[in-house]
């Protein structure tokens, strides 16, 4: 029997971070289906760490306004977990710069246009105006393995959304101001802010959705030992 479903390889190769969305709502039933699919990810001892919070209405606006204000007033970030290596090795810094250049180039933002770049960065805190804004947290008691399991779950969510014709973008910038996020949403201190996720139907006319980043060749990260 012929298989009409796309292969995982084709889905993975065609997925990209989506930062421009149509205003069309995402049905609640579909969002719940995506999250249930994502939760099928591997999990050590089946602990299934992490929580997803859907931000709507006043709660979403409140946290977005507070985070944008923090950036505009240059409040120092207070991340609760390390994402980037310190110091950043040059080969990784080059990848980071190349990814940023690819995005700004697609948006038509000049290299020296600091104001336009700052304005674009604030879109992170408005979840790129996506119909669905998710906050992802993990219980503070979990160790590093919990982050690994949650990462696999997040990947499952992004891939499940892509398979349904939706687009999504994980937003690490939300972790820069965890105290603000918890305060505005009334979350307990026991929840570490991991990231946000913007999710919805991709806008085919949005320039930023054309951004593609390169992956390292296999030889850079795979070796056979014998």
pLDDT tens across 15-25, in order?
A: 999 999 999 99
Q: Which domain holds residue 148?
A: 14-83+125-210
- Residue 9: inside a domain, yes or no? no
- Residue 24: inside a domain, yes or no? yes
Place of tokens 């991709």: 202
Regarding pTM above 0.95, the answer is no
Model confidence at 112, pLDDT cuts 50, 70, 90, reads: confident
User: Can you give the pLDDT at residue 48?
Assistant: 97
- Residue 216: inside a domain, yes or no? no
At residue 135, what are phi and psi to the nearest 5 degrees?
Answer: -110, 135
- Residue 223: inside a domain, yes or no? no
Q: What is the mean pLDDT of residues 130-145?
A: 96
Report the alpha-carbon distance of residue 100 to residue 147 in Å, rounded. Answer: 25
The answer to whether residue 1 scores a pLDDT higher than 50 is no
- Residue 225: inside a domain, yes or no? no
The enclosing domain of 68 has a CATH number of: 3.40.109.10
- Residue 5: inside a domain, yes or no? no
For residues 189 and 223, is the Cβ–Cβ distance under 8 A?
Answer: no
- Residue 178: inside a domain, yes or no? yes
Q: Which two tokens stand for residue 158?
A: 């992004």
In the chain, the percentage of residues whose pLDDT exceeds 70 is 98
Place of tokens 């859907």: 54
Model confidence at 2, pLDDT cuts 50, 70, 90, reads: low
Measured at the alpha carbon of residue 26, what is the angle toward residues 157 and 38, in degrees to the nearest 5? Answer: 15
Least confident among 5-14, 37-46, 90-99 = 5-14
Q: Which two tokens stand for residue 63?
A: 């946290």
Place of tokens 């923090």: 70
At residue 67, what are phi and psi to the nearest 5 degrees?
Answer: -70, -40
Q: What is the mean pLDDT of residues 180-197?
A: 98
Report the alpha-carbon distance of residue 109 to residue 3 in Å, rounded. Answer: 43
Structural domains in the chain (count): 1
Task: Tell me: cis bond preceding 118? Omega within 30 of 0 counts.
Answer: no
Q: Which two tokens stand for residue 206?
A: 């949005």
- Average pLDDT value over all residues in the chain: 94
The answer to whether residue 204 scores a pLDDT higher than 60 is yes
- Residue 95: inside a domain, yes or no? no
């Amino acid at each position: 029997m012929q298989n009409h479903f796309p292969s995982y390889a084709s889905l993975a190769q065609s997925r990209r971070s989506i930062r421009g969305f149509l205003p069309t709502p995402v049905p609640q039933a579909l969002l719940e289906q995506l999250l249930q699919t994502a939760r099928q990810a591997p999990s050590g001892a089946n602990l299934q760490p992490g929580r997803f919070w859907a931000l709507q209405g006043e709660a979403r606006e409140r946290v977005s306004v507070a985070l944008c204000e923090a950036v505009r007033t240059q409040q120092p970030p207070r991340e609760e977990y390390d994402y980037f290596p310190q110091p950043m090795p040059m080969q990784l810094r080059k990848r980071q710069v190349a990814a940023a250049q690819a995005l700004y180039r697609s948006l038509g933002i000049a290299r020296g246009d600091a104001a336009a770049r700052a304005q674009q960065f604030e879109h992170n805190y408005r979840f790129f105006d996506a119909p669905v804004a998710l906050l992802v947290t993990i219980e503070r008691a979990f160790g590093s393995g919990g982050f690994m399991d949650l990462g696999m779950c997040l990947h499952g969510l992004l891939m499940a959304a892509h398979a349904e014709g939706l687009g999504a973008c994980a937003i690490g910038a939300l972790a820069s101001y965890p105290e603000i996020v918890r305060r505005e949403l009334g979350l307990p201190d026991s929840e570490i802010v991991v990231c946000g996720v913007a999710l919805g139907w991709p806008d085919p006319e949005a320039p930023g959705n054309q951004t593609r980043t390169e992956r390292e060749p296999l030889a850079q990260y795979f070796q056979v030992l014998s």
